Amino acid sequence: MYAAFWRVLPGPWWVRLLIVLVLLAAILYGLYFHLFPWVFQFFGPEQESTIGAG
């Protein structure tokens, strides 16, 4: 699968590598700034810690 993806990318190997890095950065940006905060609103705020209560 990855070999097929690599073959369909245009250009020499360094252009392909640059395209893959940009795509990976875009995916990580989308996850970190859009998907994870959206999921956190369902799981995160309601959790309370009892550490230090005493």
Cβ atoms 19, 5 nearer than 8 A: no
Largest distance between two CA atoms of the chain: 64
pLDDT given for residue 48 in this prediction: 67
Residue 47 falls inside a structural domain: no
Cβ atoms 6, 16 nearer than 8 A: yes
Mean pLDDT by 10 residues, the chain (54 residues): 91 96 96 90 70 62
Domain count, the chain: 1
Residue 42 falls inside a structural domain: no
Structure tokens at 27: 């995916």
Residue 22 falls inside a structural domain: yes
pLDDT given for residue 6 in this prediction: 92
Structure tokens at 13: 């190997």
Write out the residue range of the structural domain in which residue 30 sits.
Answer: 2-36
Residue 25 falls inside a structural domain: yes
pLDDT given for residue 41 in this prediction: 83
